[in-house]
Structure 1
Amino acid sequence: MQGIYGNFVLEMAIIFGGASVLGTLFVWLRQPIILAYIALGLIAGPDGLKLFADPGHIEAISHMGIILLMFLLGLHLHPRNLWQLLQQTAAVTLLAVVITTAIVAIALITLFGISTTEAVISGVALSFSSTVISLKLIPTTTLHHKRTGEVMISILLFEDILAILAILLIYNNEAALSWQTGFLPIKTALFALAAWWIVRFIALPLFKKFDTIPEYIFLVSLGWCFTAAEIAKAIGLSYEIGAFFAGVAIATSPVSLFIAEGLKPLREFFLILFFFSIGAQFDIFETGQLLLPIILLAAVILIGKPLIFRVLLTYIGKATPTNAMEMGLRLGQSSEFSLLLASGALSAGKLSHDTAMIIETAAIITFILSTYLVVFKLPTPISPARKLRQD
């Protein structure tokens, strides 16, 4: 037990000590600090100094950062506003995924001779946007960016639902898929209603009774977040959807803002682990022979997705061209689901090792370059330029 405990403390020392050193260097060089965490993963991971032979457990722990992020986002979004936004952005989101998938699939089939099945899976995997990167880099203090964030949340939430359907398609036969796909909206609605009932009649009365004890509110909030996430996963949704609706259920109460402020440091702790794990998974040597398709797909996502969102949000989402382009740039990367879908499809025998590597590497490249683009061109809480730094 002492050995396991000691190893874990050593790993945390390497991650957070190394992140402090590299973070200082990156801030001094006026670079996005998120990239310091990814760079540390590259240096300390299995293909670097091998300080982490198997960083899989770090990735598993870091996933709690995404769950907390979705919970915090839900805390800021009133249910009435959420329903209105989903109605406005569902068509935009679905069309963006279909168009991106088609472009990626056609490019892989015509230029590299990849099979239709693998090309379509690649397109679907890369068509989703990163919840963490998109929303971590958006300010929330101005009315304009609050509205932008709400629209992006609704797009990302709908993409989450589509990603679940894609995972079902990979792992299930056609009969099971048909049944589960039809039942998914019903399960989501029932889960949302159950979350509202629990908060309305159990959690909020407890908060009101013991509101003089901040630690109690913090404890119950965390318990509710992770319990809802686990229940959602158990009924066939996702941890992220469960945490998001757990937050939305509390959003009608003034206590939601107090909870959100208290949980921010904990969220940052796990998000550092998340970006470290991304870097640790990146095999820079194995990707040399696959460089051309990787560069092509990364370029399609980084250039094509912002343009697709700009057009769709302008003509369907009723956003101004300037605002639509800003949202497109913020959504112009692949998702953490890209890595999950590629890994799952490889395990299910529906992707070759090389194609899975192309997807994963292209996705990580878009994480890095999209972060650079947003941090240096748009207002963010961590921009090196003072005039763009907004929280």
Structure 2
Amino acid sequence: MEASLTSSFFMIFSGAAVLASIALYTRQPLLIAYIALGAIIGPYGTGWVTDLKLLAEIAEFGIIFLLFLLGLDMQPKSLYSTLKKATVVALLSSLAFAAIGFGLAYSFGFTPTESLIIGAAMMFSSTIIGIKLLPTTALHHRYTGELMVGLLLLQDIIAIFVLLILFSMSQGEFSAANLLRTLVALPALIAIAFAVVRFVLLPMLTKFDRFHEYIFLLAIGWCLGMSEAAHSLGLSAEIGAFLAGISLATSPISQYIAINLKPLRDFFLILFFFSLGARFDLSVLADILVSAILLAALILILKPIIFRYLIHSMSETKKLAWDLGFRMGQISEFSLLIAYVAAEMLLIGREASHLIQATAIISFVVSSYIVVFNYPSPIGISDKLRRD
């Protein structure tokens, strides 16, 4: 019998607390504890938690709030300058990673369509891991954080186009109308967001800034409202949330909102990583283990190297280039979304879908270890590396 939502949450968060305690004592990244818990008590483990559809939908809120908070931390003028510099790096690196994924998948006998989709899933780096392991001070005040966010945002935009193409392929042919709709909808949504903030939200925040509960409510409403607006225009809810944050970033109250929403974001991110581990069907692992290990190894080795040379070509220092390369040396939660959408539309088989998922899990875990043991992060293994 399927467990109730209350009992499911009890098992998830109690189990997460236990494994997280072990992870902290042994200096392990916390996300590993959450993924492991999903594999242990999910439907392919002990089966204590089975309502993955609901948990996956709830976990999506974690990504939405994460991108909203990222937007709050970015000044529009600074972001625009960063995007201009990062565009070439994002495009060239995405093409290189797609070629790596396609070549290995095709050599293991996957169909051309499956190989293309696997290659597309390799193009992106994880926003969640990249930002979670970046010190807050670096995100707020240092160029490292700005450049990383710029690259991740450009990758997210590319991911939206990939998803649009997948939806078009499900209808048997490519639909240029969907892409044209996106090109028109995005700038329109940006203009609307800044207009609403300037003429509606900021006057209201100024008038009622003494009521903290009201500020909290208005911020969540604005974030979710922009997410829904973006989704209705054919964009992604995540892009809408990011625009909601950027449009509020010029407000003096933006940092107050960001600080107060972090606990809510972390709540949903625990569910996100749990659902990642719980969704993985261990019975398929034997069929794709070798290819997943090889693909993950290629990504973990070549992504930092490619990013290092491309970022260094922008006149950045080698130290900064290596730092960003290793922090972005995994694949993304968008890669998982591509796998789920493509499998649901029968564009790829079960093995191809699980190859992407297994590569994501391996790259998440190993990349987290590399960063935690070598670069400053909130969970660094020593006082020298531990920075909030």
Contact 2:304 2:322 in 1 (8 A): yes
**Aligned counterparts of 1:354 and 1:288: Cα–Cα separation in 2:** 10
Correspondence for 1:269: 267
- Among 4, 9, 21, the residue aligned to 2:6: 9
Residues 127 and 54 of structure 1: CA distance in aligned 2, closer, same or farther (over 3 Å): same
* SS of corresponding position for 2:244: helix
Correspondence for 2:279: 281
Deviation, 1:197, is 0.5
Correspondence for 1:241: 239
Correspondence for 1:25: 22
**Aligned counterparts of 2:90 and 2:181: Cα–Cα separation in 1:** 20
Contact 1:314 1:321 in 2 (8 A): yes
- Among 294, 315, 319, the residue aligned to 1:296: 294
Deviation, 1:284, is 2.8
Correspondence for 1:44: 41
Q: TM-score, normalised by structure 2?
A: 0.95
**Aligned counterparts of 1:81 and 1:180: Cα–Cα separation in 2:** 30
* SS of corresponding position for 1:163: helix
Correspondence for 1:99: 96
**Aligned counterparts of 1:82 and 1:145: Cα–Cα separation in 2:** 13
Correspondence for 2:73: 76
**Aligned counterparts of 1:103 and 1:133: Cα–Cα separation in 2:** 22
**Aligned counterparts of 2:251 and 2:199: Cα–Cα separation in 1:** 13
Correspondence for 1:89: 86
Are 2:133 and 1:137 aligned?
A: yes
**Aligned counterparts of 1:145 and 1:290: Cα–Cα separation in 2:** 43
* SS of corresponding position for 1:127: coil
Residues 214 and 182 of structure 1: CA distance in aligned 2, closer, same or farther (over 3 Å): same
Correspondence for 2:327: 330
Correspondence for 1:307: 305
* Deviations, residues 50-81 of structure 1 (Å, cap 9, x unaligned): 11123221111011111001001100111111
- Among 172, 184, 187, the residue aligned to 1:186: 184
* Deviations, residues 131-152 of structure 1 (Å, cap 9, x unaligned): 1111111012148973111111
Residues 142 and 83 of structure 1: CA distance in aligned 2, closer, same or farther (over 3 Å): closer
Deviation, 1:99, is 0.6
Structure 2 gaps of 5+ residues are: none
Deviation, 1:291, is 1.4
Identity of aligned residues (%): 44
Correspondence for 1:114: 110
Aligned length: 386
Contact 2:118 2:356 in 1 (8 A): yes
Correspondence for 2:50: 53
Deviation, 1:325, is 1.0
Deviation, 1:281, is 1.5
Deviation, 1:388, is 0.7
Q: TM-score, normalised by structure 1?
A: 0.94
Contact 2:378 2:386 in 1 (8 A): yes
**Aligned counterparts of 2:32 and 2:101: Cα–Cα separation in 1:** 26
Are 2:157 and 1:161 aligned?
A: yes
Contact 1:37 1:272 in 2 (8 A): yes
Contact 2:138 2:145 in 1 (8 A): no
**Amino acid in the other structure paired with 2:215:** I
**Aligned counterparts of 1:162 and 1:361: Cα–Cα separation in 2:** 22
**Aligned counterparts of 1:100 and 1:359: Cα–Cα separation in 2:** 13
**Amino acid in the other structure paired with 2:167:** Y
**Aligned counterparts of 1:60 and 1:132: Cα–Cα separation in 2:** 17
Are 2:145 and 1:170 aligned?
A: no
Deviation, 1:344, is 1.5
CA RMSD of aligned residues (A): 1.8
**Amino acid in the other structure paired with 1:335:** S
**Amino acid in the other structure paired with 2:94:** V
